[in-house]
Amino acid sequence: MIRFLLVLVMLAGTAGAVVAYGDPEQIARASNKVSHIFRAQPATPAPAVQIPRGQGGEFALRAKINGVAAPMVIDTGATSVVLTWETAKAIGLPLEMLEYDVDLETAGGHTKAARLTLDRLSVGHLVEKSVPALVVQRGQMRTNLLGMSFLDRLESWGVRADKLMLTGYPELQSSHRRSRTAVD
């Protein structure tokens, strides 16, 4: 939408130059400047991932947490990404430094969790940095949850025909948006 408005403004400016000056040379220079602006900041397509619904009705996937593959289940009812103790250990998180002081209600009942921030969490081409997460105590959960602390950072997500579609934000190649990067 912003790009459309920018194009519209540039076209209006060029049309204004034609009316005001009527000088073909100045019009050509203005046209070159507009073209240069758009060549300097091409947008890449928005990264997207489709996840098929599993036989049990869940949307399961393999994410990468700090570069390490981990199975996860999408849970829109979870406020945060939640990792099992076992996954946190496999990733190399500093478990000995964690304080389990967050009350957490899970499908299995009440437990305690520790807060931390994941350096990098990726699902396919969707990559987020500095993602808030929780780690539950050893043996308290069997499944890692991809909750809203990741999903809220996406442009959109939704279910269609038994597929969950996660869509990130398109990138301007010359800009540096906060933690949204398309990777190949």
Per-residue pLDDT of the chain (184 residues; tens, 9 = 90+): 566 555 655 666 655 555 555 666 666 666 666 666 666 555 677 889 999 999 999 999 999 999 999 999 999 999 999 999 999 999 999 898 999 999 998 877 889 999 999 999 999 999 999 999 999 999 999 999 999 999 999 999 999 989 999 999 887 544 444 444 334 3
CATH number, domain with residue 107: 2.40.70.10
Asked if 64 and 23 sit in the same domain, the reply is no
Asked if 29 and 92 sit in the same domain, the reply is no
Domain total for the chain? 2
Rounded CA separation 163/184 (Å) = 22
Asked if 89 and 160 sit in the same domain, the reply is yes
Asked if 128 and 175 sit in the same domain, the reply is yes
Instruction: Please tell me the predicted confidence (pLDDT) of residue 124.
Output: 94
Encoded tokens for 106: 């899970």
Asked if 36 and 75 sit in the same domain, the reply is no
Q: What angle do CA 136, 140, 159 make, to 5 degrees?
A: 75
What pairs with residue 82 in β-bridges?
134, 145
User: Is 65 strand, coil or helix?
Assistant: strand
Asked if 130 and 97 sit in the same domain, the reply is yes
Asked if 133 and 67 sit in the same domain, the reply is yes
**Domain containing residue 173:** 48-182
Determine contact, residues 144/88, Cβ cutoff 8 Å: no
Asked if 21 and 58 sit in the same domain, the reply is no
Asked if 15 and 99 sit in the same domain, the reply is no
Asked if 52 and 35 sit in the same domain, the reply is no
Asked if 65 and 121 sit in the same domain, the reply is yes
Neighbours of 38 (CB within 10 A): 13
Asked if 166 and 110 sit in the same domain, the reply is yes
Rounded CA separation 1/150 (Å) = 24
